[in-house]
Amino acid sequence: MLAKLIGNIENAKISFSQAVFGFIGIICIRFFLEDLSSPMLSAPAVPDLLTMVHYGLFYIGAGLSTALVLRIFIPDIKKISKVVLSLLPVMWFPPLIDLIASHGAGSPMAYIFTGGTALWGSFLTLGGTPLFGGVTLGIKIEMAVILIGLASYVFIKTKSIARSIFIILVGYCMVFIWLAFPSIMALFGALAGNRLAAAPAYFLVGQFAASHMLMRLISPGEALSPLATTGALFNGGMAYVFYLLDLALFIGWAIAYRPHFLKEYLRNCRPERITSFLLLIGVGICVAIKTSYGQPFNNWVDVFALIVLMVAYFCAWIFAVGVNDIVDVDIDRVSNQGRPLVTSTITEEEVRSANFFFLLWSFVGAFIVGYWALFAMMLFTAAYYVYSAPPLRLKRVPLLATFLISLASLSAAAAGFYFASPIQLAAALPGSLIIFCLVFFTLVTNIKDIKDINGDRAAGIATIPTIFKGHTGKAIVGAMLAVAFLSVPVIVSSVSLFIPSLIAAALGYYFTVAEPFSERRIFILYFAYAITAGFILWS
C-alpha cells in the first residue's frame, strides 16, 4: 500500500510553479503554528517578513539537501523531489506537539546554540535538554518521523536494509547540521581565535552587527527597538549564508536533474551583458566611496552581501533573457539559430519554470540585501519586461527601447551605490552617475540591433539598422556609439578622459561599420575603456 502511494506521488504531474506555491503554503502554516507555540520576547515574531525569509531559506536548504542525499540510492531526482515535498507537512508536527505537551503554553524553538564539546554532546543526545527552549520535544519527534520516512522510502525503492540504515545515519547527521548551523559557523570563528565563538549566538550577532547590514536593511526614516535590531541582524546574516548555500544546492539539483539543461542555460546567458551589469554595480560602489566616503566592507558579512546582490542581478538578467527568448523565438530562428529554444535543447515549459525560479530568487536576494537593492531590482525587472514582452513590447520603438536598457543599467549602478553609501537617501545618488547611465547606454545599446537585423526585419520590428538599411544604418549606430564615448568626459567633468574617449570613439565607429560585424569586439572595447576610465578617475 505504501509502495503504491509513493508511486502515485512520484508519477503525479506537478509543475515547478505548483511545487513552489505548495512549498510556500506548507511553510506559511508552519510559521503560523510556530508563532503560537514558540512565543519569544527576544526576537521579532515569526510573521516578521525577514524572519520568514530566513526560515524559508532554511527549509529550502533542508529539503534540497534531503533530495540530494536520497539521490545517492534513487536515480530520479524529480520523483525524489515530489516525495520530499509530500513529506514536508511533517513540519507542522513540532508546534502542535509542543502546544499539546505544554497544555497550550508552548515551548520556545531555536537553533542548537552551543560550542566545543557541548556541541558533540548535543549531537549524541538529539539536541540535548536546553533550559530555555531549542530542540523541543516536537522537533525531536519530527526528526524521528523524517528519518523513518526516509528509511522506508529507500527500502521500498532498493529493498536493501543496509541502505535504509545508512540513510538514517546520514539523514540524522544532515538534520543535526541544519539545526546546529549557527554553532557550526561559530566553529570557524573559534579556529580564527575569536573567544566569543564559544557563545555562537553572541558571536554571530556581533559579526553581523560589525557589518553594514543594518544600514542597507532599514529603509530611510525607519527605526527599530534594540530587541528588533538583534533579530534583524541575526535573520539577515543567516539569510545571506542560506541564500548562497541554497543556490549551490539548487545547482546540484539541476545537475542531478539534467546536466545538459544547466549547460545550455549558462551558454545562453549572454556573459558580456551580465558582466556589464555586474561592472556597473562595482562602478556604483566606487562612486559611493569617492563621493560619500562609503566603506562597503567591514568584514566577511559585507562580502557575502555583495555576492548575494550580484547573484540576484544575475538571476534577474537570466529571467529577462528567458522572457525575451520566448517572445523572440521566431526572430531567433533567423538571427540567432543557436539559441536553446530554436534548437529545442530546452523546451518552452522548462524556460518558463526556470524563469519562475530566477525571478523569485532575484527578488529574495535583493530583499535580504536591503531596501534600495530591492527597489533597484524592481526597476531592472520592470524595464526589461516592458522592453521584451507584450502588450507593450517597447523594443519595437527605436531609442525608447535603448532608454529602457539604460534604466536597467542605472538600477545596477544605483544598487552598487547604495550598497556602499552611508547616506541611504535618493538625493545622495550623484546626478553625474544618473546622466552617464541614461545618456551613455541609450546611445551605446543600439549596437545590439546590428546582429539581429535580418530577424527584426522579418518580424517588422523598427530599429535603426532596419529603418536605415545597409551601410547607412550601421554608420548611424557607429556615430551614436562614438558620441556616447565622447560624452563621458563632459558628464564626469574630466579632461584626462578626453584622449581615451576619442580613441574609443574612433575604434567604436570603425568596429561598427567594419565587415564582418563582430559584437564581441565592441564589448572588448567597452570593457577596456571602462577599466581605463576607472583607473584615471580613481587616481
Report whether 9 contacts 82 (CB < 8 A). yes
Maximal CA-CA distance, the chain: 82
Q: H or E stretch including 109?
A: none
pLDDT digits 0-9 by tens, 361-383: 999 999 999 999 999 999 999 99
What value does the mean pLDDT take over residues 383-403? 94
pLDDT of the residue at 408: 97
Given a cut of 60, is residue 191 above it in pLDDT? yes
pLDDT of the residue at 166: 95
Q: Report the helix count and the strand count for the chain, using DSSP H and E.
A: 27, 0
Q: What are phi and psi of 99, to 5 degrees?
A: -65, -45
Global confidence as pTM: 0.93
pLDDT of the residue at 521: 95
Cα 189 vs. chain centroid, distance in angstroms? Answer: 26
C-alpha cell at 75: 536515480
**Cis geometry, peptide bond prior to residue 489 (ω within 30 degrees of 0):** no
Nearest Cα neighbor of 238 from 54, 53, 43, 31 is 54
Given a cut of 60, is residue 142 above it in pLDDT? yes
Query: How sure is the predictor about 197, in pLDDT bands with cuts at 50, 70 and 90?
Result: low
pLDDT of the residue at 458: 80
What value does the mean pLDDT take over residues 295-306? 93
180 by DSSP, 3-state: which?
coil
pLDDT of the residue at 200: 83
pLDDT digits 0-9 by tens, 321-337: 999 999 989 888 888 88
Nearest Cα neighbor of 523 from 273, 306, 310 is 273
Cα 336 vs. chain centroid, distance in angstroms? Answer: 28
Give me the residue spans of the domains in the chain: 2-179
Given a cut of 50, is residue 131 above it in pLDDT? no
- Both ends of the chain: CA-CA distance in Å? 73
Mean pLDDT of the chain: 90
Q: What percent of the chain has pLDDT over 90?
A: 65
**Cis geometry, peptide bond prior to residue 391 (ω within 30 degrees of 0):** yes
CA-CA distance, 361 to 312, in Å (whole number)?
Answer: 7
pLDDT of the residue at 44: 46
Beta pairing partners, 109: 134
What value does the mean pLDDT take over residues 226-241? 89
Query: How sure is the predictor about 455, in pLDDT bands with cuts at 50, 70 and 90?
Result: confident
CA-CA distance, 539 to 534, in Å (whole number)?
Answer: 8
What value does the mean pLDDT take over residues 208-228? 79
Exposure pattern of 6-45 as b/e (b: 16+ CB <10 Å)? beebbeeeeebeeebeebeebbeebbebbbebbebeebbe
